Structure 1
Amino acid sequence: MLVCVTGGTGFVGSHSVAAILRLGARVRILARDPAGVDRALRPLGIGPAAVKVVTGDVTDAAAVARAVDGADAVLHAASVYSFDSRRRAEMRRTNVRGTQLVLSSAVRAGADPVVHVSTVGALYPAAQAAIRADSPLGMPHEAYLASKSVAEGIARLYQEEGAPVVITYPPALLGPHDPHLGDQNSRLRNALRGLMPVWPGGGFPVGDVRDTAELHAALLAKPAGAQERHFGPNRYLTTRQYVRILREVTGRGLPAVFLPARAMLPLGALTGVLQRIWPWHIPAEHGAVYTCAHAVPVGPDVSTYGIGARPTADTMADTVRWLHGTGRISARQAGSAAAVPEASRV
């Protein structure tokens, strides 16, 4: 079985590639920078000979066609995930146009299934107390979430037309071996570095990237059949619970003040405007506040394809230990987590 993966040099993509290879499938990655494939996969124990690489971008129709040609299945994980308002145009280009090109090319090439990696945030703000597979798309007033909502709308249209498209909803993902130190792991690192003394109230679904990767591998191992939607294994945490678990994992006090998320939205919006002209990244992001203000739990009856969510404390401990081991935080900032061995799959 040959699986084409877009976004294979990213956090979700690289871990998904590792999970797919463990099932014995062959993998072909579409990547702008072939050297980035080795950088992303080597920490996961995958050598350069284990995958084939097609050089190109998801917004390049010819490159996408080459990548999906002859593939039995496709995992579309390429996405710009950022709450940095300076990347708005890049998000629209990659997340929306890229999704249209990849899904159309994959369906035309006869791939089955074609798995589109969405996000729980595409369903925010939610009209109900919990989100489910049949929840309507949200209309978020935030650049990243809005681009993912539009992208999922494209995937849903293919489902309605009978194409073998499957949609997955990863939660906010933590975990080790993050090739680009993405949004969630950066936020955890900022908390450990004392850069987040003020938190919005509310909460959000949190999961381990390795669990979502297992979900993707399991889905790709069979034809799509019915047009399905599955959620990445997750636990809904309030921001207070999130910080409390981080304190327990590290043994540190981590002083924090919690303010109502909706009251912080105007400040977050102002920060987003300021970020467009300020050259350095501002940790207080509008998108993060917006998510906490509007996120709701995932319904208890949704499908995670039988894959359970490992304890959040294990995920955080593994993440903190990796941040320390790669020199991204000091031993003092890692606290007692620096000595915790990486947790096994639960």
Structure 2
Amino acid sequence: MLVTVTGGTGFVGAHSVAAIVRAGHRVRVLARDPALLAPALAPLEVPPGAVDVAAGDVTDEAAVAAAVRGADAVLHAASVYSFDSRRHAAMRAVNELGTEIVLAAARRAVDGPIVHVSTVAALFPAAGRVIGEDSPVGRPRETYMATKAAAERVARRHQDEGAPVVITYPPALLGPHDPKLGDQVGRVRDVLRGLMPIWPLGGFPIGDVRDTAELHARLFTTPPAGPARRFAPNHYLTTREYLAALREVTGRRLPAVHLPARSMFPIGRLADLAQRVWPWHIPAEYGALYTCACATRVAPDAGTTGIDPRPFAETAGDTVRWLRDAGHLTARQAGSASPAPSPVPVH
């Protein structure tokens, strides 16, 4: 099977490409900058020649049509995932318009599965205490989450029309080999650099990028019958448990003060305004605070995948060791990063 992948130079996309190739499929990646593909896939041991690249952007209808032509299936993983206020316009273009273009082109070109990579955040704030495959699309008051909710509505419309669209819901993701050092892995780096001494109360679903990639590969090997929604393997962690895991794997104290998330909203709003003119990243973002305030757990039986989530301590340890080995952290900042930390409680 030939699978066209968008977003293949990003964190989820690159790991998914590697997993799809391991499952025995061929891959064609639509990349805005084809030069970024080889560095993204090299650490994941993707054999040379297993992946073709087509130059183009997901907002370019002609480029998308060319990329899906002749393919058997599509994985739409392209997305701007960031709480950085400087990227709001890019989020609206890629997350919303890009999804409209890619899913429409995929329906015209392929007969196999069309997998849209959504996010649990597209379902927040939730009406109940848990989210599942029948949860309504959220109406969040935060730009990244709102653009992903808009993309979710596009994907569900295609499902309602009978298209073979499968929606996956990754949680916040960590793991090694993040080609662009995105929001979540960058946050771990900021914590270990001592840039985040104040944390909101609350929590969020979190998982390992390798588990999400495995889910995507399985969807092309054994496509679900009919429209389907699948939640990637995850744990729900409070922010206290998240920090406890980082303390465990690094052996560092990492002192922190915890405040109610909503009480920190004004700080996040001011930081977002300042970020528009300040050239360096400010590790205090309204979107992250908003997520902790409104995130809920994934129902235990939601979108069964048959993949057990890795222990979060393993994911955290692998992330920290990669950050150290890649030069994003010093050995002192990474601490002990012991190879087999004991697990922290998860819910």
Shorter-chain TM band: over 0.9
Partner of 1:65: 65
Map 1:1-346 → 2, pairs under 5 A: 1-337=1-337, 340=339
For 1:297-334, what per-residue CA distance to the aligned partner results, in whole angstroms no more than 9, with x for missing partners?
Answer: 10111124111100000000000000000111011111
Structure 2 distance, partners of 1:341, 1:107, is 45
Structure 2 distance, partners of 1:224, 1:240, is 37
Equivalenced residue count is 342
Deviates more, 1:209-218 or 1:300-309: 300-309
1:111 CA drift (Å): 3.5
SS state at 1:195 partner = coil
Structure 1 distance, partners of 2:224, 2:103, is 14
1:35 CA drift (Å): 1.1
Structure 1 distance, partners of 2:59, 2:320, is 35
Task: Give yes or no for contact 1:113–1:222 (8 Å, CA) kept in 2.
Answer: no
Structure 2 distance, partners of 1:124, 1:20, is 29
Task: Give yes or no for contact 1:318–1:341 (8 Å, CA) kept in 2.
Answer: no
Runs of 4+ with >2 A deviation: 222-225, 339-343
Structure 2 distance, partners of 1:140, 1:188, is 25
Residue type matched to 2:163 in 1? A
Structure 2 distance, partners of 1:127, 1:274, is 33
Structure 2 distance, partners of 1:273, 1:200, is 19
Task: Give yes or no for contact 1:215–1:304 (8 Å, CA) kept in 2.
Answer: no
For 1:90-147, what per-residue CA distance to the aligned partner results, in whole angstroms no more than 9, with x for missing partners?
Answer: 1000111100000000011124210000000001111110011110111111110000
1:340 CA drift (Å): 2.3
Task: Give yes or no for contact 1:261–1:289 (8 Å, CA) kept in 2.
Answer: yes
Residue type matched to 1:325 in 2? D
For 1:139-183, what per-residue CA distance to the aligned partner results, in whole angstroms no more than 9, with x for missing partners?
Answer: 111110000000010000000000000000000000000000000
Structure 2 distance, partners of 1:223, 1:314, is 29
For 1:211-262, what per-residue CA distance to the aligned partner results, in whole angstroms no more than 9, with x for missing partners?
Answer: 0000000012234431000001000000000001110111100000000011
Deviates more, 1:104-113 or 1:3-12: 104-113
Residue type matched to 1:255 in 2? P
Task: Give yes or no for contact 2:201–2:260 (8 Å, CA) kept in 1.
Answer: yes
1:45 CA drift (Å): 1.1
SS state at 1:173 partner = strand
SS state at 1:49 partner = coil
For 1:253-279, what per-residue CA distance to the aligned partner results, in whole angstroms no more than 9, with x for missing partners?
Answer: 000000001111122122112212222
TM-score (norm. length: structure 1): 0.97
Residue type matched to 1:8 in 2? G
Q: CA RMSD in A?
A: 1.3
Residue type matched to 1:199 in 2? W
Partner of 2:345: none
Task: Give yes or no for contact 1:96–1:150 (8 Å, CA) kept in 2.
Answer: yes
Deviates more, 1:216-225 or 1:156-165: 216-225
Residue type matched to 2:42 in 1? R
Task: Give yes or no for contact 2:248–2:341 (8 Å, CA) kept in 1.
Answer: no
1:47 CA drift (Å): 4.2
Structure 1 distance, partners of 2:111, 2:239, is 40
> For structure 1, which runs of at least 5 residues remain unmatched after alignment?
none
1:48 CA drift (Å): 4.1
Residue type matched to 1:340 in 2? P
TM-score (norm. length: structure 2): 0.96
SS state at 2:336 partner = helix
